A and B are shown apart, each in its own frame.
Chain A
Amino acid sequence: MGFDTAYEAIAEETGDQRWAFGTGFADPLAGVDTTVPDGVPAAGLAAYCLMLGDDALIMSHRLQEWLARAPELEEETALANIALDLLGQARLLLSRAGHADGTGRDEDAYAFGRAEHEFRNVRLAEVADADFGGLIARLLVFSTWRLALLSRLRDSRDPVLAAVAAQGVKEVAYHRDYAAQWLLRLAGGTDYSRARMAAGLAAVAPLTAELFAISDPERSLRAAQVAPDPAGLRAEVEAVLAAVLDQAGLAWPEVPGMPGVAGRRGREGVHTEAMGHLLAELQSVARAHPGATW
């Protein structure tokens, strides 16, 4: 072959861009006008993009953990695709944060270079799933809530956020349908699968209260018509969950929300124990080899 390494053999004709998907990430917002519109508070916009980007990044990571663990190959493929959609949303949102906060940080700097208390995802995104029923319950609540949020953000005064939301609505609608249809299947299966599905709902129920709690960045953005008040999503989310649960013959567990620390929860950087373990895995290679490419 005349090549010293397999890499050279593959890269010879076409350059390293053909080596593999996803190496040496380019700016996902290349060529997009990233000017922050007049009247939009830039710091609030950056913080908000981090919140929504972290929700997608952390949920995506948890879904990736299901690869080689799911009950069937088809479900691994589905979960990988859902994880990929969310990772794509995270890349756009974290890049937007770096433009809006003026630091110019790229997506990798946010994903791999922040400590736990700097992550702003809701705690629902970070908790580990006890089993497939637990995953389906968490994915249903997460995607129902995110779909309600993204569908409103299509009208955001920030054009980048509105564009990311318009694309995301199409993607997350498929995620929600997937989870809802699996919930019906598990609830209508055996006594055991039904019990595991009910246990999954009980596990995620305490994490739903914070989905509707307004954060400081959202207060400033609501006035500027950039982001909605999350309290306004509750009726739509509850109606969708009720429609699925009614058909499944299951009841939503009415439980108090999981407390935070001095009122601070995921949006304020206070996470569950699971988050540290997740970040240790997510960040270990990037921290051991800063700036490495392959």
Chain B
Amino acid sequence: MSGPALTRARAIAASVPDPELPMLTLADLGILREVRADGDRVVVALTPTYSGCPALREMRGDLARRLAAAGYPDVEIRTVLSPAWSTDWITAEGRRKLAAAGVAPPGPAPRPPAGPVPLTLMARPAPACPSCGSPDTIQTAAFGATACKDLYRCRSCAEPFEHVKEI
């Protein structure tokens, strides 16, 4: 495969939307680990966000379909488990798109310590409201409609909103 053909395949793979956060591309989400050529075959490596993320199969299908439609019929999609995905891998552009869609982007992810993981008995630091910017928000549910989110409500403008959990 020529250099320009691979560059184009990379751009197509990078632009595939996430099925559950469709305002983000796979590249924005930081799960697209590699796109390379193996002869005429395009090899794409993905890292799942969560062990049970049901969108992974959708992503694989979308990638294969879009690449095939663009003239790359031979596509192999590999799963890369290590290192595990972190919300720190969401790009600056991805964070901007999340906030624009009313979803509070994640703060810095806690680094899992080498030893015992500390217990958290208090509420985690609350994200600012993506609508009005107020820091006065409260968690309403520790888990949201997808594995990667929890729910908050703004006490200034009363707007409920989703937040991408730091992992």
Are the CB atoms of A171 and B143 closer together than 8 Å? no
| B53 in contact with A163 (CB, 8 Å) | no
Contact of A244 among B85, B119, B142 (CB under 8 A): B119
Interface positions of B from 59 to 103, Cβ below 8 Å from A: 60-61, 65, 76-86
A17 touches B144 (CB 8 A): no
Of B45, B52, B53, B165, chain A has the most CB atoms within 10 Å of the CB of: B52
A88 touches B117 (CB 8 A): no
Least distance between A104 CB and chain B CB atoms (Å): 18
Please determine whether B116 and A151 come into contact, CB atoms closer than 8 angstroms: yes
B21 an interface residue at 8 Å Cβ cutoff? no
**A31 close to B143 (CB less than 8 A):** no
A176 touches B147 (CB 8 A): no
By secondary structure, the B interface counts as loop
Q: How would you classify the secondary structure of chain A's contact residues: helix, strand, loop or mixed?
A: helix
Cβ of A31 and Cβ of B77 under 8 Å apart? Answer: yes
Report the Cα distance A173→B139, complex, angstroms.
18
A-B contact count, CB below 8 Å?
135
A30 contacts chain B at the CB level, 8 A cutoff: yes
Count of B residues near A, CB < 8 Å?
42
Residues of B in contact with A (beta carbons under 8 Å apart) = 45, 48, 50-55, 57-58, 60-61, 65, 76-86, 112, 115-117, 119-121, 140-147, 151, 165, 167
Q: Are B117 and A151 in contact, CB atoms less than 8 angstroms apart?
A: yes
A-B contact pairs, 12 of them (CB 8 A): A14-B65, A25-B57, A31-B78, A32-B80, A32-B81, A74-B141, A88-B52, A89-B51, A171-B50, A176-B119, A180-B120, A240-B116
A26 within 8 A of B: yes
Could you tell me if A82 and B143 are in contact, using CB atoms closer than 8 angstroms?
A: yes
**What are the 3 A-B residue pairs with the smallest beta carbon separation, nearest first?**
A88-B52, A31-B78, A88-B51
